[in-house]
Structure 1
Amino acid sequence: MKVIASSLRKGNVVEKDGKLYVILFAENIHPGKGTPVTQLDMRRISDGVKVSERYRTTEQVERAYVEEREHTFLYRDGEGFHFMNPESYDQVAVSESVVGEMAPYLTEGMAVQVSQYNGIAISLVLPQRATFEVVETEPVTKGQTASSSYKPATLSNGVRTLVPPHISAGTRVVVMTADGAYVERAKD
């Protein structure tokens, strides 16, 4: 189905020259002078090659029909990451190349959107936020107002992020799954 380039988002699948590409990053650029364009960073599904394309925002692009369903993350092994469809209990294995940098944010039982094309998982979308425990951080230095208001911390998933000074080791925090940025202290 043809759609305008400006409507494409991360995780969408497009068909170009008979090959399927999953969009890793989509940005609409509106220069002061000239035509607005949509910059797309894509990964070819067949071999994993990354490609960068630029389209006019009104240009028509062929979007592939992809089945998107909610799945629950089960576990990770040598085959990849295993997800289960909660309605049919079918399991699907997703390769490491598809999961990519989202791997540290996957937790057992997490609900994610898995996109499949002809029965093969080609992309997944995590919830925007996830909760992790701070395992290591610097102690609070009282009266330290001249320095920045955030300090480095290591989360239970191994990701390093910046947290406010009042957060200590053992505290559960909510972070953005897109970049690992601190959102708030967990309310649980």
Structure 2
Amino acid sequence: MPKINGNEIRPGNIIEHDGGLWIAVRTSHVKPGKGGAFAQVELKNIRDGRKLNERFRSADKVERVRLEQKDKQFLYETDGMLVFMDTETYEQTELPADILGDRRPFLQDGMTVVVEYYDEEALSATLPEKVTCEIVETEPVVKGQTAANSFKPAMLDNGVRVMVPPFVGSGEKIVVNTETFEYVERA
């Protein structure tokens, strides 16, 4: 794995530090009046979510980790485990359902998910940015209310509540952003 200087750490970089894998959440470069400059880096542990603030001088060397990304197709869920199939080798793998976190309800049959691996360990899974869902419950459409810049709550077929524009009614399909849980457009 390549070693980089402490002042080259950028947000999103994954480094090996103190025997664990950490992702850089925020970095700021500080030049104090006395002494050498350093990078103040906020780190988050990939495995357990702990946070850490660390100072790295330009002379400090850290291991930058590159994760291997594989496309996996979701097949089914069994006993709290999600079963995925590798799209190239057709090999099936089971991952815990909590690997998706709060985005789990947006997972649909046959959906292609990007799973990031470190060695052979699956660390994270990323859903597509936009998913089509159906509205099962919302307030009825009221004529003349479309000009106002207001939103109303709606319940989706996967049990997630989102805010939608007033012209969208029950039974309609909409596109939802899986990262922000916001309405994007009608499907």
Q: How many equivalent pairs are there?
A: 177
Partner of 2:53: helix, strand, or coil?
A: strand
- 1:150/1:52 Cα in 2 relative to 1: closer, same or farther (>3 Å)? farther
Partner of 2:79: 78
Q: Deviations over 1:8-62 (max 9, x none)?
A: 42xx6432111124x4x8345699xx9885544x2442xx243243667x88653
- 1:61/1:108 Cα in 2 relative to 1: closer, same or farther (>3 Å)? farther
Shift of 1:144: 4.0
- 1:132/1:146 Cα in 2 relative to 1: closer, same or farther (>3 Å)? closer
Partner of 2:127: 126
- C-alpha distance in 1 between matches for 2:28 and 2:175: 31
Kindly indicate whether the alpha-carbon contact (under 8 Å) linking 1:5 and 1:60 is maintained by their aligned counterparts in 2: no
Equivalent position amino acid for 2:51 in 1: V
Partner of 1:63: 64
Asked if 1:139 is matched to 2:140, the reply is yes
**Greater gyration radius:** 2
Structure 1: segments with no counterpart, 5+ residues? none
Partner of 1:180: 181
Equivalent position amino acid for 1:26 in 2: V
Structure 2: segments with no counterpart, 5+ residues? none
- 1:123/1:150 Cα in 2 relative to 1: closer, same or farther (>3 Å)? same
Aligned-residue CA RMSD (Å):
3.1
Kindly indicate whether the alpha-carbon contact (under 8 Å) linking 1:39 and 1:53 is maintained by their aligned counterparts in 2: yes
Asked if 1:51 is matched to 2:55, the reply is no
Partner of 2:181: helix, strand, or coil?
A: coil
Partner of 2:9: 5
Could you tell me the TM-score, scaled by structure 2's length? 0.78
Asked if 1:26 is matched to 2:25, the reply is yes
- 1:176/1:18 Cα in 2 relative to 1: closer, same or farther (>3 Å)? same
Partner of 2:168: 167
- C-alpha distance in 2 between matches for 1:131 and 1:18: 41
Could you tell me the TM-score, scaled by structure 1's length? 0.78
Identical counterparts, % of pairs: 39
Kindly indicate whether the alpha-carbon contact (under 8 Å) linking 2:98 and 2:104 is maintained by their aligned counterparts in 1: no
Equivalent position amino acid for 1:100 in 2: G
Shift of 1:101: 1.2
- C-alpha distance in 2 between matches for 1:158 and 1:178: 16
- 1:126/1:53 Cα in 2 relative to 1: closer, same or farther (>3 Å)? farther
